[in-house]
Amino acid sequence: MEIKTFLDFEFDIDELRSKSAPLYCRYASELEPQTAFIEIDCRNGAIDVGYYSEIGNAVPVAVAYQRARRYSIPANVSGKALAELLESSEFLALAERIYQGVTIKQNGGNFVGQADDDAQEAEEELRSQLHSLNHHLLEVWDVDDWLFTNHVLEEHWHHEPLRLAVENLRIAAEEESVFIDGDLGTALLDSAHFRFRHGYTVSKAHVDALLAHGMIGLDESQQWREQSWRHLPDKQE
């Protein structure tokens, strides 16, 4: 049997580590996120991570015919925990056994991956190892629920630039082991826009950001500046 000689990551491990939940993707029309996976391509030794991009989890031909092997993992696993597992000697040893033990053979008109006994055993051990990721899951919150269930806009964003407010919120979410499902900047802008349109008080930072994003006109912002009763009071430290 020809000896295969290498395994290789198809992604930036440091980038994966730096993200809170790098494989979490939930489409707006769906209640649940897409299934995430680790993939070992037994044709060339490539190791990859990702999520099924199509609703219904359709798979590529290489996966359907088991030339590439996929193993499901939680979508909300932390990037740090996932990177540590992928770099571990235990994972790499199991991946090597799978890679070496899967032979690509022609079966009718298709080329199919066939795992020997050791590769099948390694796959079972790998699935058991992946259960450890369940101890490193982030709590997923809808962006509006996380921001506004117990707080109002000015508690998150008052006088500071929008980008700084967003960065502070991202840090807070990470400290709470929370993954935010949705865009923080958009949610803050939408809340400020609602308040502006309905005559509630907003700050200069809110108005400047709404104007910069084309959500209000210059004449509207000028009118607000002349109506002091619509100005949010300075934040009390």
Asked whether residue 236 carries a pLDDT value surpassing 60, the answer given is: no
pLDDT number for residue 126 = 98
Q: What SS3 class is residue 229? A: helix
Determine if residue 56 is left, alpha or beta; phi over 0 gives left, psi from -120 to 50 gives alpha, anything else beta.
Answer: left
Q: What is the DSSP letter of 230?
A: G
Digit-coded pLDDT (tens) for 11-54: 899 999 999 999 999 998 899 999 999 999 999 999 999 999 98
Looking at every residue in the chain, the average pLDDT score rounds to 93
Euclidean distance between CA atoms 158 and 125, whole angstroms: 52
pTM of the model: 0.84
Residues facing residue 112 across a β-bridge:
105
pLDDT for residue 107? 82
Q: pLDDT band at residue 4, thresholds of 50, 70 and 90? A: low
Question: What is the reported pLDDT for 233?
Answer: 86
93-106, pLDDT tens digit by residue? Answer: 999 999 999 999 98
Structure confidence at residue 40 (pLDDT):
97
Would the pLDDT of 6 be above 80?
A: no
Give the mean pLDDT of 206-216: 98
User: Residue 206 in contact with residue 235, Cβ under 8 Å?
Assistant: no
pLDDT at 1 over 60: no
**Phi and psi based region of residue 96 (left: phi greater than 0; alpha: psi -120 to 50; beta: remaining):** alpha
The Cα angle at residue 51 between residues 118 and 55, in degrees rounded to 5: 120
Q: Which tokens in the block code for residue 179?
A: 């993954």
The CA distance from 26 to 140, in Å, is 11
What is the residue whose two structure tokens read 């109506």? Answer: 227
Determine the distance from the C-alpha atom of residue 31 to the mean position of all C-alpha atoms in its chain, rounded to a whole number. Answer: 16
